[in-house]
Structure 1
Amino acid sequence: MADTLRDILDAAARGVFPPADGGTTIVPQPSARDAGVLAFTAHSVVFTDEDPDWVRGSLTDTDCDRLAATMNARFLTALMDRTGRTSDTVDVLLTGAALPGEPPVRLTETEGSRHPRVLSARGRRDEVRVWEADGGVLALGRGVAGRWEVAVDVEEGARRRGLGRRLVESARHLVGGAPVWAQVAAGNARGLRAFQAAGYRPVGSEVLLSATARSAGCSRTRS
């Protein structure tokens, strides 16, 4: 098993996953900002600076199938209570390999955008860059363990024309060879379809725990 969360994510981006053994790996937080839980097929990863013995004991206390224990509401609530953190939702975690060439949609990089999706991205990520397209906006920044994460928004009048798919595909052309990651709320079927049509593949589920409450937390859809 890899030693750090970044190692685990880099391997997953290559299609190499933790063993499907029903186990849980506990690793330190990659930063003070980011803690949480990743669930792959029959193996979970908890990234926290809390005592690993406490984490394992709390998983046992959920009294449910060990394959589902880390995403069980009782465990997540206990982890939030223990850490004083908050959470928005359980997301589907997807990744797409970098692509060569130009993006499939015309983009204009901009600074100082006050778009809600951009403001949310700046609160969650470092090195955020923003591009505008006719009818949409794309933000890229370094999130959990330094991975590149994408967020897009499409105006109501421009929806159902494939712009969302082209925007998330564009992100794969903008990162200089690195994989791009996306977190999409499990109920956001339209967003999930857009990412999959753009070549992203689901690798697991993720719950991020924030050190501070966010008034915009419930608007957290990233497609």
Structure 2
Amino acid sequence: MASTPSTLGAILDAAAHGHFPPPDGTTTVVPQPCHRDAGVIAFTAHSVVFTDEDPRWVRATLAALDCDPLAATMNPRFLLAFMERTGRATDTTDLMTVADALPGGPDPELGLREIADPDHPRVARARKRRDEVRVWASEGGGVLVLGRGLTGRWETAIEVREDVRHRGLGRALALAARHLVPAGSHVWSQQSTGNARSVRAFQAAGYRPVGAEALFFEC
């Protein structure tokens, strides 16, 4: 069975191409890719913890939990211990999805217009956690955010105004992001597992579920 790559970037790149860590029930601990980003990713029967903390602390803390070992890294007690150990915070555990870039530009019927200085709350949050952030507004009442996130990967997020939901705009925006990233690359997106609308929209736009992700950021 193939071994797991030793860096988070290599692990994510492999996952984007459909090659996952071995489903052997173990946890891989790798360094943070940068100071900003620490956290946990759970694949099928294999977890990856990326932190600059001592790997011995990670393994000892997981071993002390009285829970299903396959779910230990996403157990609230481990996530709380992680936060207390690092002084960081987290928002939620997200479904991590990925899609290939598509040729050509976005559907012109979306009427995407790039915003030079946005103040949308979704955009302000993106600029705290991503680099090279770009933002587009659609004529139909949506916002598309694209930037470089974890390990420099392309990440997208969308926002659809409540009064124009259920018309396929979320799916169209998610699909548009695949046309806006460079050819041959991948675009990632995270959806809160309880946000069924977002999950459906991204999967309808061709994004594949690859795991669960909990990011920890400085308070």
Q: Which residue of 1 aligns with 2:164?
A: 158
The CA distance in 1 between the partners of 2:134 and 2:186, in whole Å, is 16
Correspondence for 1:127 among 106, 129, 132: 132
Between the two proteins, the alignment pairs up a number of residues equal to 212
The CA distance in 1 between the partners of 2:115 and 2:77, in whole Å, is 43
Runs of 4+ off more than 2 Å: none
Q: Which residue of 2 aligns with 1:221?
A: none
SS of residue in 2 equivalent to 1:68? helix
Whether 1:195 and 2:202 are equivalent positions in the alignment is: yes
Q: Which residue of 2 aligns with 1:8?
A: 11
1:11-44 per-residue CA deviation (whole Å, 9 max, x = no partner) reads: 0000100000001000000110000000000000
Q: Which residue of 2 aligns with 1:22?
A: 25
Residue ranges of structure 1 left out of the alignment (5+ in a row) = 213-223
TM-score normalized with structure 1 length: 0.93
SS of residue in 2 equivalent to 1:88? coil
Q: Which residue of 1 aligns with 2:102?
A: 99
Whether 1:55 and 2:58 are equivalent positions in the alignment is: yes
Q: Given residue 15 of structure 1, which amino acid in structure 2 is its aligned partner?
A: G
Q: Which residue of 1 aligns with 2:145?
A: 139
Q: Which residue of 1 aligns with 2:115?
A: 110
The CA distance in 1 between the partners of 2:156 and 2:33, in whole Å, is 19
Whether 1:170 and 2:176 are equivalent positions in the alignment is: yes
Q: Given residue 142 of structure 1, which amino acid in structure 2 is its aligned partner?
A: R
The CA distance in 1 between the partners of 2:64 and 2:218, in whole Å, is 24
TM-score normalized with structure 2 length: 0.95
The CA distance in 2 between the partners of 1:144 and 1:95, in whole Å, is 13
Correspondence for 1:72 among 57, 65, 75: 75
The CA distance in 1 between the partners of 2:61 and 2:162, in whole Å, is 44
The CA distance in 2 between the partners of 1:64 and 1:191, in whole Å, is 30
SS of residue in 2 equivalent to 1:80? helix
The CA distance in 2 between the partners of 1:131 and 1:209, in whole Å, is 27
Q: What's the CA shift for 1:50?
A: 0.2
Q: Which residue of 2 aligns with 1:43?
A: 46
Q: Given residue 99 of structure 1, which amino acid in structure 2 is its aligned partner?
A: L
Q: What's the CA shift for 1:55?
A: 0.4
The CA distance in 2 between the partners of 1:110 and 1:69, in whole Å, is 42
Q: What's the CA shift for 1:107?
A: 1.1
Q: Given residue 184 of structure 1, which amino acid in structure 2 is its aligned partner?
A: Q
Q: What's the CA shift for 1:62?
A: 1.0
Q: Given residue 137 of structure 1, which amino acid in structure 2 is its aligned partner?
A: V
Q: What's the CA shift for 1:157?
A: 2.1
Q: Given residue 69 of structure 2, which amino acid in structure 1 is its aligned partner?
A: R
The CA distance in 1 between the partners of 2:193 and 2:137, in whole Å, is 26
Task: State the percentage of identical aligned residues.
Answer: 63
Q: What's the CA shift for 1:101?
A: 1.0
The CA distance in 2 between the partners of 1:3 and 1:129, in whole Å, is 31
